[in-house]
Structure 1
Amino acid sequence: MTNALATAIIAVSLLAAAFSAVTSFRNRPMGRGDLAGLAVLEVLLVVQAVLGFVKLGGGEGPKDSATFVGYLLAVLLIPAAGAGWGLLERSRWGPGVIVVAGLAVAVMIVRMNQIWSGTGV
């Protein structure tokens, strides 16, 4: 894992969550800004997945890589699922789903860093 990339992903996920929280508090449905935040987050997660698999293929990473690979693949689904669910829910709770998705991605990235470094396993 690259610490700079992980930090960027956490920052973008928290910013997307904060933006969507404001949208939800304003009692508005999900809009383009919410989707843009999720799109940027998804691109960063794809970059992380590619780098993660390259590093694992090169012999780097945790001893037991199965959990790490599970997190690496599962975290890719969260922004897409949040966008789909948010688009289906055309009330103020659509952006609320994105808030939860952004927070979940941030927590999963922290956990992936712990698994990668061998702490908290």
Structure 2
Amino acid sequence: MTSVLANVIIVVSLLAALHALVSAWRDRPMDWWHLGVLGVLEALLIAQAVTGFAKLSGDGGPADSATFVGYLLGVLLIPAAGAGWGLLERTRWGPAVIVVAGLSVAVMIVRMNQIWEGTVA
């Protein structure tokens, strides 16, 4: 895993969650800024997946590679699902879904780092 890319993903996902939280608190529906941030987050996650699979194909990698691959593929679905659900929900709860998606991505990236380093909790 590339810790710099992982840290960037965590920061972007937490900033997206914070922005969405402010929108939900202000009783605003999801807008194009939310979609843009989710698009950037998805692009970063795709780069993470490519990097992760490239490192797995080499001689390095975690001991539990099946769980790592599951996290690597599963985290790709969260921003897309959050964007779709947020677009369908035209109340304050649309951005609330983005809050959950952003926090979920951050937690999954931290967990992927733990699996990669072998510090299974």
User: Scaled by the length of structure 2, what TM-score is found?
Assistant: 0.98
Distance, in Å, in 2 between the alignment partners of 1:90 and 1:37 is: 18
Deviation at 1:97, TM superposition (A): 0.1
* Structure 2 unaligned regions, length at least 5: none
Distance, in Å, in 1 between the alignment partners of 2:114 and 2:83 is: 27
Runs of 4+ in structure 1 displaced over 4 angstroms?
none
Deviation at 1:64, TM superposition (A): 2.0
Residue aligning to 1:109: 109
**Number of matched residues?**
121
* Structure 1 unaligned regions, length at least 5: none
Task: Please give the residue correspondences for 1:68-79 in structure 2 after superposition, counting only pairs within 5 Å.
Answer: 68-79=68-79
Q: Cα RMSD between the aligned structures?
A: 0.7
User: Scaled by the length of structure 1, what TM-score is found?
Assistant: 0.98
Residue aligning to 1:33: 33
Q: Percent identity between the aligned chains?
A: 70
3-state secondary structure, aligned to 1:109:
helix
Distance, in Å, in 1 between the alignment partners of 2:29 and 2:113 is: 34
The answer to whether structure 1 residue 53 and structure 2 residue 53 are counterparts is yes
Residue aligning to 2:118: 118
In the alignment, residue 42 of structure 1 is paired with which amino acid?
E
Residue aligning to 1:98: 98
